[in-house]
Amino acid sequence: MTQPTDVNTYALKGTSMDTLAGTAPTSVPAALRKLYFLRFAFAAVWAALLFATADTLGTPTATLLVIYPLFDVACAVIDIRSARANGQPVRGLYVNIALSTLTGIGLAVAATSGVPAVLRVWGAWAVTAGIVQLVVGAVRRQLGGQWAMIASGSISTLAGASFIAQAGKDGASLANLAGYAFLGGVFFLVSAVRLGRTGTKA
């Protein structure tokens, strides 16, 4: 999930399944594994901080909301460098950067309007990022450890729709975003572990 993202983290290569049918360089799974561990650690800390401040949409909470997609941008930049070094396509990563940058801006504006507006922006991001992550996991399946990314992308899409629906109801809360982010981090952790096992077997 991104979580919304890894799409991040987690990035569509902008190429066909057949193009990626060959064996990926060993350094690709290794780089992804480190990135996935980083995303898990960030998601866990971020979720705890948001849960502690979710009761009010003040400056600390608004700052946390904007930081999350910006961190996603940073992860995509790291992924681009790794992909280029190994001759991998990077078009999808640029799409991810664009989506996350727009989301960061959107959240900064939405935070001045209230929780419902924040939920709508976050929900839209979760849906789009989830779809991309779902495709990314399918494209990268030959690297191993990607079933968790596929599942995460599917859940992100559904969660995003629920956030948008929640925004139209009384008592809308940001607390669910913390749980969403933490669950996304867990999926990254699972993928990192599975990638490590794949590398050992190789």
Query: What is residue 11's predicted lDDT score, i.e. its pLDDT?
Result: 36
Reported as a single tens digit per residue, the pLDDT across 129-182 is 888 878 777 776 665 556 767 787 888 899 999 999 999 998 889 999 999 999
Q: pLDDT of 64-98, one tens digit each?
A: 999 999 999 999 898 888 777 766 667 777 888 99
pTM for this one? 0.78
Which pLDDT belongs to residue 17? 30
What was the pLDDT predicted at 200?
Answer: 52
Backbone angles phi, psi at 3, to 5 degrees: -60, 80
Whether pLDDT at 22 is above 80: no
Domain boundaries along the sequence of the chain: 26-201
Q: Which residues of 62-83 are buried (b: 16+ CB within 10 A; e: fewer)?
A: bebbbbbbebbbebbebbbebb
Which spans in the chain are helix H?
A: 6-9, 27-53, 59-85, 91-110, 115-139, 147-167, 175-201
Residue with tokens 């995303």: 39
Nearest to 136 by CA among 170, 187, 176: 187
What residues form DSSP beta bridges with 3?
A: 5
Output 48 or 27, whichever has higher pLDDT. 48
Query: pLDDT tens for residues 40-55?
Result: 999 999 999 999 999 9
